[in-house]
Amino acid sequence: MHKVAIPAYVTQHVVARRGAEHVYADLDPARTALIVVDLQNGFMMPGVAHALCDTAREIVPNVNLIADAVRRTGGKVFWIQNTHDEGCLTSWSHFHEDLTRPERRGARVESMSEGKPGHQLWADLEVRPEDEIVQKTRFSAFIQGSSDLEARLRAQGYDTLIITGTVTNVCCESTARDAMMLNFRTIMVTDGNAANSDAEHNASLIAFYLTFGDIMDTQMLIGCLETNARFREAAE
């Protein structure tokens, strides 16, 4: 598990700007969706993964705990699958041609294509029938043409998003930043995201927290979900 380190000056800046350390602690559980980004064999399974992130396996218990809490308090879970399709090589050609060596490009195509072992969700994730699985073709699930996640969330009335998954500083942060820009209240989970190093993980959390949204650990987040659900039930 990552050693999370948010400098005091970051928290001070957040409080000075927003008036509180955690502005989304009052989230409405019934309008909250958990977004689980790319917890697939292609990033997690030695011998299969094209881009192995060992830490990703360590966050699975926390992701399952959060998923259970979200469902129990009236929200919904969306499992996101990084997906390569035929159009990616042309519509995203600069990434595949300029930023990726040929051998790594081939490994990614093989791993992330639908039906391949690498494309499958990690077996220890507790996916339920009422959850939704969404395929995306870019780092962010929200960039135009990547997926229909935004449309699904809007149609079902979700305005608050919890971001978990791998890797923190690429697909998770990209998805979280775009969510905020689309007017979703967005929370990144400090011990529910995984990167290839503590430095990358913390840098991503700090950048997001300073400008784009809130960060919480699993225990705090579940506490907010359960407490707010009880308050709303008592008020009805």
Q: Which of 63-77, 90-104, 180-194, 219-233 has the lowest mean pLDDT?
A: 90-104
* CA dist., res. 57 & res. 49, Å (int): 12
Tens digits of per-residue pLDDT, 51-84? 899 999 999 999 999 999 999 999 999 999 998 7
Position 85 scores a pLDDT of 66
pTM: 0.93
* CA dist., res. 232 & res. 226, Å (int): 10
Mean pLDDT taken over the chain: 91
Backbone phi and psi for residue 35, each to the nearest 5 degrees, phi listed first: -110, 115
Q: Judge whether residue 109 has pLDDT over 90.
A: no
Tens digits of per-residue pLDDT, 121-135? 999 999 999 999 999
* CA dist., res. 192 & res. 211, Å (int): 20
Position 96 scores a pLDDT of 47
Which domains are assigned to the chain? Answer: 8-235 (3.40.50.850)
Helix 218-235 with 60-72: angle, nearest 10 deg = 0
Q: Judge whether residue 50 has pLDDT over 90.
A: no
Higher-pLDDT residue of 117, 200: 200
Burial per residue of 180-191, b for 16 or more beta-carbon CB atoms within 10 angstroms, e otherwise? beeebbbbbbbb
* CA dist., res. 6 & res. 223, Å (int): 21
CA separation, residue 73 to residues 9, 28, 66 (Å):
34, 9, 11
**Residue with the two structure tokens 């942060």:** 173
